[in-house]
Amino acid sequence: MKDLDLYLQGYYLTIENAKRLRFAAIQSSYKKNFGLACSLNILAAEEGIKAIYILLESLKSAEITTEFKKIFRSHSFKHEKLKQILNNYNTFMERLATKVLSFEELLKLETKLLDKNNADLKNLKKTRKVVNEYNLRKLDVESFNVWLAQANEEKNKGLYVDFTTSNWMAPQSFTKKQFDIEKEYSNKVVQAAEGFEFILNQVREIYSF
């Protein structure tokens, strides 16, 4: 198996698992198990960010490194990487699409000039799709940082009974409003991962790398 294929296999398995966790979260919410549902949504979001990390590693290294393996073994390392990825996600997208974004004005002019069957026009159309996808998938990084700062604690609260100061905290105390918030973040992260994969594939096809 080629190294790129190995990375892509990992990406697809991870994104599939993220969707499976999201589905389980929705099913739990139907039974009003909002604590469990929130935790499952946070796990889905973590898997989505991990999927982006796998794609980024496919660009950086031809070989599977020791550091790459750590995200699957070390909880603290994983959360540090998740934070880094969220903070830099839009920058990664911009860098990946830099050549593509430079075609914006070219699109307006050359679309009128090139023959519809011309291969260059085909790539220009792909370029437009990439630009649109980039604009669609950008994340509100500041909002996600606020969410990530409390996500792990909220995930644990949704799974375990806890005692704080003089009060018991149970997963049953979670509300549908909290579930809806976690679901929104989970959906955005998974969509961002899918958008990153789409752009990466398009740019690889256009520029043959």
Residue 53 contacts residue 88 (beta carbons within 8 Å):
no
Specify the pLDDT at position 120: 57
Distance of CA 176 to the CA centre of its chain: 24
pLDDT confidence band for 121 (50 / 70 / 90): low
Copy the structure tokens of residue 87.
């903070």
pLDDT confidence of residue 134: 64
Are the C-beta atoms of 107 and 128 separated by less than 8 Å?
A: yes
Q: Is the pLDDT of residue 101 over 70?
A: no
- Integer-rounded Cα Rg, in Å, for the chain is 20
Distance (Å, rounded) from C-alpha 8 to C-alpha 115?
35
- Mean pLDDT, the chain, integer: 80
Give the Å distances, CA to CA, from 137 to 28, 93, 170.
27, 9, 35
pLDDT at 181 over 70: yes
Distances (CA, A) of 40 to 22, 77, 185, 187: 7, 20, 12, 12
Domain ranges of the chain: 1-207
Predicted model pTM: 0.78
Tokens 């979670």 correspond to 174
**Would the pLDDT of 99 be above 60?**
no
**Looking at residue 106, what is its pLDDT?**
47
Q: Does the pLDDT of residue 31 top 90, yes or no? A: yes
Please answer whether residues 2 and 32 qualify as being in contact, where contact means their C-beta atoms are separated by less than 8 angstroms: no
Using the predicted structure, report yes or no on whether residue 109 has a pLDDT greater than 50: no
Range of 12-26, 49-63, 94-108, 142-156 with top mean pLDDT = 12-26
Higher-confidence residue of 206 and 12: namely 12
Task: Specify the amino acid at residue 167.
Answer: N
119 pLDDT above the threshold of 70:
no
Query: Exposed/middle/buried for 85, CB within 10 Å: 0-12, 13-18, 19+?
Result: buried
**The predicted structure's pLDDT at residue 105:** 47
Which of 24-28, 124-128, 195-199 has the largest mean confidence?
Answer: 24-28
Distance set, CA 146 to CA 4, 45, 151 (Å): 34, 14, 9
Residue 169, strand partner residues: 162
In the prediction, which pLDDT does 62 show? 64
Is the predicted pLDDT of residue 51 greater than 50, yes or no?
A: yes
